[in-house]
Structure 1
Amino acid sequence: MDLKPRLQLMNWLVSQGLTGLPEHDLLRGFCERCRAQGLDLSRGTVFIDTLHPIFEGRGFLWNDTETDERDYFEYGSSAEGELAEDWRRSVFHHMLEHGDGELQIDLADDASLRFSRLPALAVRGHRQSVAFIHHFGEAGTMGQMDCVYSYWLTRRPDGFGEPGLAALRDLVPVLGLAIKSGAQVDIARTLGRVYLGRDASEQVLRGKISRGVTERISAVLWFSDLRGSTAISESIAPDEIIPFLNDYAQASIDAIHEMGGDVLKLIGDGVLAVFTGADMALAKRRALRAEHRFRLNIAELNARRIADNRPTTSAYVGLHIGEVFYGNIGAEDRLDFTVVGPAVNEVSRIASMCRSVDRELLASSDFRNGLDPAGQRYLVSTGRFALRGIGHAQDLYTLDPGVGADEALAGRYERYLAG
């Protein structure tokens, strides 16, 4: 590839990286432009580790022919299992062990058979592979994301040749920089969702990061905590406490997210969440759906934990509705994006009353009154209570006990929730 088209491709990579073109589209555009300029690529693959609670990294793939392979994929930990074995047999593991940044492999050479994936690629007609590892500096590393891995194949019997290799040496680092830029955006979004919540993360990434920037919204408020968690934590081994909390947090968060809610805060074993929208009656029904799904999740979880001879519990849930301030609260250099207001204090107190009245769900009268008549029938009064720190007494409601005892009533309640 001559110098002019090489520079044009570099400019294209920079411009598309700045606009945020998805990584698999970057790779496809790169490979197609290389081929148009005489660099006979038959396959290109790029891997980059990331900072994610589930995935170790992401990969992007391009082929010159149709295959059943995906052009974008995520991979889990390479520390154990089949992925670990595959990694140890990979070209990149070999390169890291030997300190190589580039490795050329003739796929007709029997020595190439010791590397994972290469024998299958040789069968498909590829003839030469060149692999690169482009390392980041310390300041450019985020978690395990410390380099870009890539390998490039050609079907040409004589391989890429020195001009083709020289072009790849110039171009692949620019592609790697563009992909790293996209990966950093993905990491920012992931960290925001994981630590702030889904909607709060989007708000922050759209620029709402100044202290005091809040909006007044109406929201259905959810507060839940575990039943008897302190006693259970004191009775189990220290290394079992975090898995115990994680199991039940997963059960609640999955239910809330599935029904369109946003988890704003984890407070020990407590969960603060909101359900919002123009239709508050629908938001309340979504909160009830989430509470129902939470109970089903707990039942499944407890069955697994009993089978493993591990302690089980249930949870208390308080539901309320009110106007809250939603946004940034804190110091100039340490902010929390959350909700504040009297209604937040009230929902916490409502959840804490569950212990006193021995009910797993309590809802405020404001929550119940906003439901349609069919929904109101499923919430029955537990009495009038003065909540600690709240200046007025109020009626609290719980799910009709018949829902748990009568199969027909339970079916009607489930149909109501689904409606």
Structure 2
Amino acid sequence: MESSELQRVTHWLIDGVWSSEEPAEMIADFCERLVAAGLPLWRFGIFIRTLHPEIFGRNFIWRQGEEVEIGAVEFDVLDSPQFAQSPLRIVFEQGLEVRGRVDDPDSKRFPIINDMRAEGVTDYIAVPLSFLDGSIHATSWMTRQPGGFSGDDIAAIRAIMAPLARVSEIISLRRTAEMLLDTYVGNRAGARILGGQIRRGHTDTMQAVIWLSDLRGFTALSDRLPAETVVAILNHYFDCQVTAIRGHGGEVLKFMGDGLLAVFPIDEYVGDAAHVCAHVLEAARESRASVEALAFPVGVAVERFRFGVALHVGNILYGNIGGGNRLDFTCIGPAVNLAARLEKITGRLGRTVVASEGFANVCHHGWHELGEFPIAGFAKAQRVYGLAEETPVVMA
């Protein structure tokens, strides 16, 4: 591989890679340019560790003539026999290159090289990808060229690593920011923040269904159980709702102790209020079934749980609120206040799901009027509706 050709690929990495909209496109373009420049590359892999509560990292695999494979690896891979015998373990833990020629007896300690022999691979090298923050990521390079990679090929791979690392780090940092924002503020709010909506007072008016819920008897539960157990219970309890909420188009904005605030945006131009409300009700039913099925062992006993959720539809202010340089991306407004008051009524009435008159009028699915109730902060009493299928339960 001539130095001038390598220089062209380097310049493209620095200046032209941004024309690729997705990482997979960039990787495919990168590999194809290297092959065109003379590198006998048959397979390339890049593994980027992530800052994510569930995912250890993401990998991208390119093969000649095929689409780039994209995968996510969970943390349990670190305890697997496959990882223990992988060249990438040495790269991650020691930051060293690992080479495995199929004709080298020492390479038999790496099962992947034996697997690749069946596909005609003659040479393999894993090279660390070092980011400026000191973190070590990994690349792998394979060839089918008789005799394996030449000395010039290896030199070219090493020379391209620095520009590849800088570009990969920039892409990784942006993705990390997106994932952190998705994890802590939700995907819609995260997109707005990354888009520049970061100043206090940046808010939008949005029509949405508001979901407010909390766990019954949480104060007593917290008093009699160790804090670690309470946290574990809360995590399982929130899992029962978050999966259903996200699965039906909602976004969790906030966890407040045992409380959860979520919104389901309504597109006023499409006029899909009835469709959205139907999805919200289905999410509430799924959450109710999941919480009822939740059985948490504590010593010789098994804890069972109940919760309440209030559903309301209305206009909200959605955006940045806070003081100084500490902001929160949340929603406020009379509609949110009403949902919060209705959620308290669920406990008084022994109901799991209650809805405002506004929600029940949009979502006609077997509601039963529970009466009018004075609501603090509201001039008029509010009609409250419960599901006809539910039997009230009086909490002890």
Aligned to 2:131: 136
> Is 2:100–2:113's contact at 8 Å kept on the other side of the alignment?
no
Secondary structure of the residue that 1:190 maps to in structure 2?
helix
Query: What is the aligned counterpart of 2:280 among 273, 287, 290?
Result: 287
> Is 1:43–1:64's contact at 8 Å kept on the other side of the alignment?
yes
Quote the sequence identity (%): 31
Aligned residue identity for 1:296 = A
Q: Deviations over 1:142-191 (max 9, x none)?
A: xxxx1220121222233222211111111133223222222222211111
> Is 2:101–2:122's contact at 8 Å kept on the other side of the alignment?
yes
Aligned to 1:88: 84
Aligned residue identity for 2:367 = L
Deviation at 1:87, TM superposition (A): 2.0
Q: Deviations over 1:83-138 (max 9, x none)?
A: xx2222222323455x453233322111111124111112322122222113223x
Across the two proteins, how many residue pairs are aligned to each other? 387
Aligned to 1:409: none
Instruction: Kindly indicate which of the two structures has a greater share of residues assigned to strand.
Output: 2
Cα gap change, 1:124 to 1:346, in 2 (>3 Å): same
Aligned pairs for 1:213-362 (under 5 A) are 213-277=202-266, 278=268, 279=271, 280-302=273-295, 310-362=302-354
> Is 1:364–1:397's contact at 8 Å kept on the other side of the alignment?
yes
Secondary structure of the residue that 2:55 maps to in structure 1?
coil
Aligned to 1:158: 147
Q: Which moved more, 1:14-23 or 1:287-296?
A: 14-23
Instruction: Extract unaligned runs of 5+ from structure 1.
Output: 406-419
Aligned to 1:394: 382
Aligned residue identity for 2:322 = G
Secondary structure of the residue that 2:6 maps to in structure 1?
helix
> Is 1:131–1:150's contact at 8 Å kept on the other side of the alignment?
yes
TM-score of the two chains, using structure 1 as the length reference: 0.85
> Is 2:122–2:142's contact at 8 Å kept on the other side of the alignment?
yes
Cα gap change, 1:404 to 1:331, in 2 (>3 Å): closer
> Is 1:264–1:272's contact at 8 Å kept on the other side of the alignment?
yes
Aligned to 1:109: 104
Instruction: Kindly indicate which of the two structures has a greater share of residues assigned to helix.
Output: 1
Secondary structure of the residue that 1:382 maps to in structure 2?
strand
Aligned to 2:73: 75
Aligned residue identity for 1:115 = F
Cα gap change, 1:381 to 1:305, in 2 (>3 Å): farther
TM-score of the two chains, using structure 2 as the length reference: 0.90
Aligned pairs for 1:188-203 (under 5 A) are 188-203=177-192
Cα gap change, 1:204 to 1:2, in 2 (>3 Å): same
Q: RMSD of the TM alignment (CA)?
A: 2.4
Deviation at 1:219, TM superposition (A): 2.0
> Is 1:211–1:329's contact at 8 Å kept on the other side of the alignment?
yes
Q: CA separation in 2, counterparts of 1:100 and 1:273?
A: 43
Q: CA separation in 2, counterparts of 1:260 and 1:100?
A: 42
Cα gap change, 1:216 to 1:313, in 2 (>3 Å): same
